[in-house]
Amino acid sequence: MSVLSRPEFHDEEAALAYVEGLLWPQGPVCPKCGTVDEATKLKGKSTRPGTYKCRACRKPFTVKVGTIFEASHVPMTLWVQAIYLMCSSKKGISSNQLHRTLGVTLKTAWFMSHRIREAMRSGDLAPFGGNGGAVEVDETFIGREPGREVKRAYHHKMKVLSLVDRETKQARSVVVDDLKPATLVPILRENIAREAHLMTDEARHYLRVGREFAAHGIVEHGVGEYARGTDHTNTVEGYFSIFKRGMKGTYQHCAKKHLHRYLAEFDFRYNNRVANGVVDGERTARALLGVIGKRLTYAQ
């Protein structure tokens, strides 16, 4: 049987029950007063599916309140389908493809995909390399900076800094305005433990901060060197290859103000990939666990 035959993809009640089971493992949680498992499910003919009434504060609510689904008229079945499609597509799925597959308007598909990326965004600030492991750091360039019409080296392109913890197989990426040490050094200090083994290329902006870590391995790409024993940046460059194939082949264009959400999407799939023991269904469930407290309006 196809995975797409699962009831939560086709039946609204089943889809709501699936999401409720993930977000409310202890029973319905009232978003107004926070009371747990003290709600009655309303079943009137004119009542929206999945509506509960809190016995404590007497307010009605659904599992959508306080999540990326709030105020959305899109059925939960389509939301679950969209999340599954984005989680199972290694290089992403375009808004145009979602629009055609789900049967919603292009504007709705675009807005849904951005809200799903917001759910994928992690607030985890635990430093990489805490056990003394290797952390690879590198930067890449994509698209064009707003207002930069003159092409000059990489200065006219948007800049992305990525870190990959080789031990935990986790990635963390941020958009940066420039590659000056004053911009990059605080990011490295906040995200990498001092006992880590830092690995970079020969770029000068890493040289001074590299002394702050237990070790700093350098490979010189300029002379054709791509590994020096176990010192290399091939892992983070592998992450960039997936990111760029997705951005150029699937999404094709991205405004800088949205780039951080696309990075969150690629980080999420990389951190929850098959190599880390996470299959498509589990990846979808993990994305759904991130919907709480991340409401994103169209104006935002």
Number of domains in the chain: 2
Is 287 exposed, middle or buried (CB count within 10 Å of its CB: 0-12, 13-18, 19+)? Answer: buried
Q: What does pLDDT average to over the chain?
A: 93
For 9, the domain range is: 3-123+282-288
Contact 250, 94 (CB under 8 A): yes
Query: What pTM does this model have?
Result: 0.93
229 inside domain: yes
Question: What's the sign of the alpha-carbon dihedral 77, 79, 81, 87?
Answer: negative
What is the model's pLDDT at position 125?
A: 75
Which strands form 52-54's sheet, in the order they lie side by side?
Answer: 39-41, 52-54, 60-61
Q: Is residue 261 included in any domain, yes or no? A: no
For 58-163, where are the alpha helices, taking DSSP H only?
A: 76-88, 95-102, 106-120
Query: Does 72 fall in a domain?
Result: yes
- Do 220 and 149 have their domain in common? yes
157 CB burial (10 A radius; 0-12, 13-18, 19+): middle
Asked if residue 231 and residue 160 are part of one domain, the reply reads: yes
Residue 299 lies in a domain: no
Asked if the model's pLDDT at residue 177 lies above 80, the reply is yes
Q: What is the pLDDT of residue 218?
A: 94
Say which CATH number the domain at 224 has: 3.30.420.10
113 and 140 in a single domain? The answer is no
Is residue 161 within a helix (H) or strand (E), and if so which, with residue range? strand 158-165
- Residue 275: inside a domain, yes or no? no
**Residues 90-144: tens digit of each pLDDT:** 999 999 999 999 999 999 999 999 999 999 998 777 899 998 999 999 999 999 8
